[in-house]
């Protein structure tokens, strides 16, 4: 049935695309890793069966494989402008094993453009993937300045950058959404401030990309990374680069591979071909979802997620022993990732009780230990995190709340 122009997400239609959901487990650790589309698995296998050859030769199968790769890269580049704005040229997208790996490569590639005494701003609300690679540049004399989360609001405030930006600032690195707080950082004021001193922006979009459409050109950021395995794809990641950002990159590839594009410079030895072909099922799925509902995919997805997270937050608010770590109310800037601690039980104990109900959630610092400490929490204990995706159902949420009732 085509449900064109219906207001709500057809969750049965959605779930039919994810074989791993056909189980009695409810998966709510989606910010850790999301279920994979059947089409991703099928296309990955198809590539391995049909085009197991190296690219670049004149014989037919090699040429055919090259065409498949160009098609995949173009389709994946489309993810960076799904919400509008100019399309990103495919060669301005690099693929890697993970966001951590891509941002490490980016830092290495930018190293020659940075001089001792130049400053880089990093945030303590970030996952370590967008902190560690920049901290390592201190060995070359780079100066790190910390943009700190405010413990009272549990947010990064763009105006706090005003005390940190100087004429030596080269780069502002921050997350687009916290993988622990579920809050979105408004990039507009961040980019405007960075630009005003001639600095560039490197944004970690990992926690944002499964929930909202990307508009890279409109945001005006230079580098934007996210992990495809959290957006229903295979275990790999993408880095989109603006034209100016791309032009700054030093080559990490073989010395004779001189094409001046991220696709060459940041992909030493190439990208994983079969995963790229498989991952191209992600934009196709989002297109199909939009066609099915007669509305942009992430408009339908975010409305559904908003209802789910609203119910979780509302329920948690009734529990006196619970402290929500992040915004306590659902809203447009609130992703369906909810962290909390309880005054009665440790996060680990709560999660183990919930495991027994065959519901997958998780506890810890989620590779954002600096954020956990900045909020006055124990790094090793961390928080309980419930992270939802659009394929979660209201019935699963009720199961979760019943399990939490017994676990808290």
Q: Does 100 bind ligand PLP (CB under 6 A)?
A: yes
CA distance 27 to 210: 15
Nearest distance, CB of residue 36 and ligand PLP, angstroms: 14
Q: Does 99 bind ligand PLP (CB under 6 A)?
A: yes
| Residue 145 burial (C-beta neighbours within 10 Å; 0-12, 13-18, 19+) | middle
Q: Does 104 bind ligand PLP (CB under 6 A)?
A: no
Among 73, 127, 200, 265, binds ligand PLP (CB under 6 A): 127
Q: Does 204 bind ligand PLP (CB under 6 A)?
A: yes
CA distance 133 to 254: 22
CA distance 386 to 399: 13
Q: Find the helix or strand (DSSP H, E) in which 344 lies.
A: none
Spatial CA neighbour of 77 closest among 256, 207, 271, 257: 271
Nearest distance, CB of residue 108 and ligand PLP, angstroms: 16
For residues 31 and 324, which CB has a smaller minimum distance to ligand PLP in the complex? 31
Q: Does 129 bind ligand PLP (CB under 6 A)?
A: yes
For residues 31 and 149, which CB has a smaller minimum distance to ligand PLP in the complex? 31
300-359: which residues touch ligand PLP (CB under 6 A)? none
Site track 161-190 with ligand PLP (rule: CB under 6 A), x = hit? --------------x---x-----------
User: Which segments within 39-182 are labelled E, that is strand?
Assistant: 93-96, 119-123, 143-147, 169-175
What are the φ/ψ torsions at residue 91 (nearest 5 degrees)?
Answer: -75, -5
DSSP string of 164-208, one letter each residue: T--TTEEEEEEESB-TTT-BBP-HHHHHHHHHHTT-EEEEE-TTT
Beta bridge partners of 384: 340, 363
For residues 130 and 292, which CB has a smaller minimum distance to ligand PLP in the complex? 130
Q: Does 227 bind ligand PLP (CB under 6 A)?
A: yes
Nearest distance, CB of residue 337 and ligand PLP, angstroms: 9
CA distance 334 to 206: 15
361-380: which residues touch ligand PLP (CB under 6 A)? 367
Nearest distance, CB of residue 224 and ligand PLP, angstroms: 12
Nearest distance, CB of residue 38 and ligand PLP, angstroms: 22
Which residues lie near ligand PLP (CB under 6 A)?
A: 31, 98-100, 127, 129, 175, 179, 204, 206-207, 227, 237, 367
């Amino acid at each position: 049935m085509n449900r064109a122009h219906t207001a709500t997400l057809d969750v049965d239609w959605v779930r039919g695309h994810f074989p791993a959901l056909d189980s009695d487990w409810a998966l709510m650790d989606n910010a850790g890793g999301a279920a994979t589309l059947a089409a991703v698995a099928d296309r990955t296998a198809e590539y391995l069966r049909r085009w197991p050859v190296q690219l670049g030769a004149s014989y037919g199968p090699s040429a055919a494989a090259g065409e498949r790769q160009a098609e995949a890269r173009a389709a994946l580049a489309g993810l960076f402008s799904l919400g509008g704005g100019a399309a990103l040229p495919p060669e301005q997208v690099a693929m890697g094993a993970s966001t951590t790996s891509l941002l490490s490569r980016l830092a290495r590639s930018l190293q020659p453009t940075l001089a001792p005494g130049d400053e880089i701003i990093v945030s303590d609300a970030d996952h370590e993937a967008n902190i560690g690679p920049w901290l390592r540049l201190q060995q070359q004399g780079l100066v790190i300045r910390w943009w700190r989360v405010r413990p009272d609001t549990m947010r990064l405030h763009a105006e706090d950058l005003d005390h940190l930006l100087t004429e030596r600032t080269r780069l502002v690195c921050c997350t687009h959404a916290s993988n622990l707080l579920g809050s979105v950082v408004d990039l507009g004021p961040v980019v405007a401030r960075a630009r005003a001193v001639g600095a560039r922006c490197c944004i970690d979009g990992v926690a944002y990309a499964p929930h909202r459409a990307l508009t890279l050109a409109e945001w005006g950021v230079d580098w934007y990374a996210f992990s495809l395995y959290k957006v229903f794809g295979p275990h790999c990641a993408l880095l989109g680069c603006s034209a100016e950002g791309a032009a700054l990159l030093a080559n990490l590839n073989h010395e004779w591979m001189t094409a001046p594009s991220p696709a060459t410079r940041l992909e030493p030895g190439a990208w994983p071909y079969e995963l790229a072909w498989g991952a191209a099922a992600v934009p196709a799925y989002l297109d199909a979802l939009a066609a099915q509902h007669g509305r942009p995919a992430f408009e339908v997805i975010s409305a559904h997620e908003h209802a789910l997270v609203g119910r979780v937050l509302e329920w948690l608010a009734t529990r006196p022993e619970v402290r929500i770590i992040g915004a306590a109310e659902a809203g447009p800037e609130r992703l369906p990732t909810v962290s909390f601690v309880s005054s009665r039980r440790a996060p680990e104990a709560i999660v183990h009780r919930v495991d027994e109900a065959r519901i997958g959630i998780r506890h810890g610092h989620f590779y954002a230990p600096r954020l956990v400490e900045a909020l006055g929490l124990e790094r090793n204990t961390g928080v309980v995190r419930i992270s939802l995706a659009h394929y979660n159902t209201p019935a699963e949420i009720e199961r979760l709340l019943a399990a939490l009732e017994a676990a808290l």
